[in-house]
Amino acid sequence: MDLTPRRLGRSDVHVPAVGLGTAPLGGMYAHVAEEQALDVVRAALEAGATYLDTAPQYGHGTAERRLGAALATLGAAGRPGLVVSTKVGRLVVPAPAGAAQGIFADAPPSDVVFDFSPAGVERSLAESLDRLGLDRVDIVYVHDPDEHADEVLARTFPVLRRWRDEGVVGAIGVGMNQSAVPARFVREADLDVVLLAGRWSVLDRTGGADLMPLALERGVSVVVGGVFNSGLLADPRPGARFDYGIAPDHLVARAQALAAACERYAVPLKAAALQFPFRHPAVASVLTGARSRAELEENLALLDVEVPEALWAELDAIATAR
């Protein structure tokens, strides 16, 4: 696939068509060794997937720390074409040893709490830069402000716009697992980019009803994450994950129907899942998460699999059937 960088909104930030999502490097669902994390970052940079997205939530700082260590080891910080994004709105705070770490196997004893206040997001970015070992990042997203939209519009985005105006960051946006609140922000907050996870996938087209056409109209770019919908589209079976939980039966059945259609055309469902987001012109980049070099290389290879238009038509009919 052509990874020629694409501009984010009206900003000066350009990202390749495919980037690396680092939630798995924080130990999401399973332990990842430090050397393994380094090798994933190395493989991404070697392949030209030079957009690297992270967040304090991912392993409670572990993903940022591992990404920073990898960039330092590889001498990649400041490399032309490298784009790093992180997120604000959550702070990593101490918790007793033995406290539950949620879905992140490699999280240290800690908790992650919301804080969208000006002081909170200033602290969040400062701590992220410290973990990353960088003096700036290219993109800052507000992370999952589902119940805090009014506060974020009034208090958080003014800080991010100031950072952008001052050159502290190159582009600003919001990262969420839903489309309604990001659509509101596109209308009201002067964003460059929305990171939409799971709501513009070959299975779940929710974002196509509101956010996607609005982003295109307003000149706001969309970065798509969660193309496998937490795993259901990578392995559509009972017990697979969807939105970080166990997939309901009706979604398993629909994912299996998508897989059956792909099989008739000798196209892996994962290839269709990775390529689907680019069918909308608002999409600038797709993030693929990987916990090993082999996973990353498989995903990148699947982007070059030809998906016939007839198959797209069948997948559209299955995904949108009532």
173-214 residue pLDDT tens: 999 999 999 999 999 999 999 999 999 999 999 999 999 999
- Under CATH, domain 14-320 is a member of which superfamily? NADP-dependent oxidoreductase domain (3.20.20.100)
Task: Pick the catalytic residue from 29, 58, 141, 244.
Answer: 58
Note the pLDDT of residue 102: 85
Q: What is the pLDDT of residue 252?
A: 98
Separation between Cα atoms, residue 8 and residue 173, nearest integer Å? 10
Q: Given pLDDT bands bounded at 50, 70 and 90, which one contains residue 95?
A: confident
| Cα–Cα distance for residue pair 244/246, rounded to 1 Å | 7
| Cα(242)–Cα(82) distance, integer angstroms | 31
Q: Half-sphere exposure of residue 18, counting CA atoms within 13 Å on the CB side?
A: 25
Say yes or no to pLDDT of 99 above 80. no
Q: In sequence order, what DSSP letters do the residues of 86-111 get, joined into one string?
A: EEESEEEEE--TT---TTBTT--SEE
1, amino acid identity: M
The domain ranges of the chain are 14-320
Percent of the chain's residues with pLDDT above 90: 93
* Res 318 pLDDT > 80: yes
What is the structure's pLDDT at 100?
Answer: 66
CB distance 61 to 92 below 8 Å:
yes
Cβ atoms of residues 211 and 196 within 8 Å: yes
Helix 118-132 to helix 62-74 angle (10° resolution) is 40
pLDDT band per the 50, 70, 90 thresholds, residue 270:
very high
pLDDT value of residue 221: 98
d(CA 25, CA 55): 11
CB 101 within 8 A of CB 46: no
Instruction: Tell me, yes or no, if 51 is annotated catalytic.
Output: no
| Angstrom distance (rounded) from CA 242 to CA 64 | 25
Bridge partner residues of 222 (DSSP): 194, 283
